[in-house]
Chains A and B, each alone.
Chain A
Amino acid sequence: MPSNKSVSDAPIAQFTNCRILRDHRLQREDLWVREGKILNPEKLFFDEKGSADIQLDCKGSIIAPGFIDVQINGGFGVDFSLATDDFKSGIKLVSQKILSHGVTSFCPTLVTSPPSVYHQVLPQIGVRNGGAHGAGILGAHLEGPFISKEKKGAHPEHCIRTFEAGAFQDLLATYGSLDGVRIVTLAPEIKRSSEVIQELTKRGICVSLGHSVANLSQAEEAVQHGATFITHLFNAMLPFHHRDPGIVGLLTSDKIPAGRRVFYGMISDGIHTNPAALRIAHRAHPKGLVLVTDAIAGMGLAPGRHTLGQQVVEIDGLNTYIAGTKTLSGSVATMDTCVRHFLEATGCSVETALEAASLHPAQLLGIEHKKGTLDYDSDADFLMLNDSLYVQATYIAGEEVWRQDVLGM
């Protein structure tokens, strides 16, 4: 190709011999990147008379947008709900390690904790772009402490709170600050939650319903006040009942405000949800499904005992329980494992499985104009995968930040 330097200083990369996920389909198209963004090659050709500086042969790989994990409690021995001295290096370690799982952006999640933990930890979680140093941080996901004691799951009961006289002010005092907070999970049946939901929504924070015994109308009211997400559907909520579907009923509720969509997180590790239940949810509301790992500190480590905030958990294979009980507590699944399991369990298309981990979380957080797709001008956060959806390489802002070792390490 003729030299391009007169057109633009920033090098233009053309990824060829690949299938890209665009417009909900895998298409035989090249991917063009410049200055960390996906480039429109037709515009480059006709408007700038430009062409590629570098061409990379992807050898038939699938190129998909980077995965976005909106519920991850830690991993590799790091627990985001533990206020340690080396918290910052802990979060850096996790953000680096999850690149190999295909995650390019995530929301570090804190389970129900005492206020001191929030006050110490939250200021250390900075929203920042990803890169070679690790996946980007979109903001914290605060799962609790305003949840139901009856559906605490692995959360410590003594830290669970309700809203007192101050409602939103109580929440603010508990967390210390909402800077860098992206998602808050709460139980909508708690008194005064409606005004809290409204205040959080006003501040651009995504409100999620979870760890709750709410019935369907309470859940619908919460949605009307601004809630848009359900934390790990089926888990830590009332089971579906045909006369009161509870929170699960939001998937097919007709009381969702026009133009809004309710999203729901699913841990498709094969343990938290029976595949049949996964299929029911997916078929009822396919566009709302968001894959999450809900991974805990033990993810990536050998089986055994690890901490999850104020609790101790035991890992045995893919199962994680509160030590000595049969109560599930987070998972050790990786995001790419979840995507593959979801594909297999539902028999859905590759496109659907990939979008559940990229497009849908981006839509949930209202950032789909720059993340979660391979649309022109989006951030060039993408993955190269083989046909079985194993991640071969991870790119952030157009730079390769992880590549599978030839030896498969």
Chain B
Amino acid sequence: MRLVILEDYDQASEWAAKYICNRIIQFKPSQGRYFTLGLPTGNTPLGCYKKLIEYHKNGDLSFRYVKTFNMDEYVGLPRNHPESYHSYMWNNFFKHIDIDPNNAHILDGNAPDLQAECDAFEKKIEEAGGIDLFVGGIGPDGHIAFNEPGSSLSSRTRLKTLAMDTILANAKYFDGDLSKVPTMALTVGVGTVMDAREVMILITGAHKAFALYKAIEEGVNHMWTVSAFQQHPRTIFVCDEDATLELRVKTVKYFKG
């Protein structure tokens, strides 16, 4: 594991964006040889998306030959609902870049057969040649995507019921009304992300500090599903100072070099 500690949110976002940008450019994607990117939603990656858009608008980065696979999507929320992950990705990323709509894959939470939708998504990833770089975040309860505490660490894309912690954390996006928050979601599995050739987890803010501690200083545990990445050959955790607040001084000093 690499643990990259930046001073604040903006610097962490920029570091992560630069890393993604460089990975794509070094790969030299072209017709028939796409760079596949796994993408997250939520507050944490917003700064990173803004930076990627900036690089694109500067002419430094094109998404023409990039395929994307989002981690998750709510079940039962209309696709054009302002809080759906389709809306999030359109407003915060897709509408600002030159990605081919056929290459932007997001799970359909309104599919008539949800498990079939999940299976098809796994197949699409496989047909795309697997994921080159999966970017993710971490929940306060240590979840990756919607792999809530107790999720199998070898799980695949499937339907999940959301934990109360997650529903409470999401309430702020639904006018604080718990009854409006979706209770189920389709999500890539821990195993699905583990299959990626490289994984980058973004963690910023003091409220994520305990989850980061559990993820990297304690053992691999299905109650803190991000801990699974201790067993991935190429994972980078990108965080800001606040996110390290629950780590041992020794750990932080080691990774700061």
Contact = CB atoms under 8 A, between A and B. Distances in A.
A1 B98 contact: yes
A49 interface: yes
B79 interface: yes
A25 to B, nearest CB: 15
B102 A45 contact: no
B80 interface: yes
A146 B4 CA distance: 81
Interface in A305-335: none
Contact of A50 (B64, B80, B94, B101): B101
Given A46-B79, A46-B86, A46-B90, A41 B95 contact: yes
Interface string A32-76: 000000000111111011110000000000000000000000000
A7 B130 CA distance: 28
A2 interface: yes
Interface string B89-110: 0110011001011101010000
Contacts of B106: 46
A154 B38 CA distance: 71
Contacts of A30: 95
A2 B98 CA distance: 9
B90 A45 contact: yes
B151 interface: no
A49 B101 contact: yes
B179 to A, nearest CB: 25
Contacts, number: 31
A51 B90 contact: no
B100 A42 contact: no
Interface string B179-212: 0000000000000000000000000000000000
Nearest to B64: A2
B95 A42 contact: yes
A45 B104 contact: yes
Contacts of B94: 45
A43 B80 contact: yes
Contacts of A44: 101
Contacts of B80: 42-43
B44 interface: no
Nearest to A1: B98
Contacts of B87: 42
Contacts of B101: 44-46, 48-51
B69 to A, nearest CB: 15
Nearest to A45: B101
Contacts of B86: 42, 46
Contacts of B90: 41-42, 45-46
Interface of B: 64, 79-80, 86-87, 90-91, 94-95, 98, 100-102, 104, 106
Interface of A: 1-2, 30, 41-46, 48-51
9 contacts: A41-B90, A42-B80, A42-B86, A42-B87, A42-B91, A46-B79, A46-B106, A48-B101, A50-B101
Given A42-B86, A42-B87, A49-B102, 10 more contacts: A30-B95, A42-B90, A45-B90, A45-B94, A45-B101, A46-B79, A46-B86, A46-B101, A50-B101, A51-B100
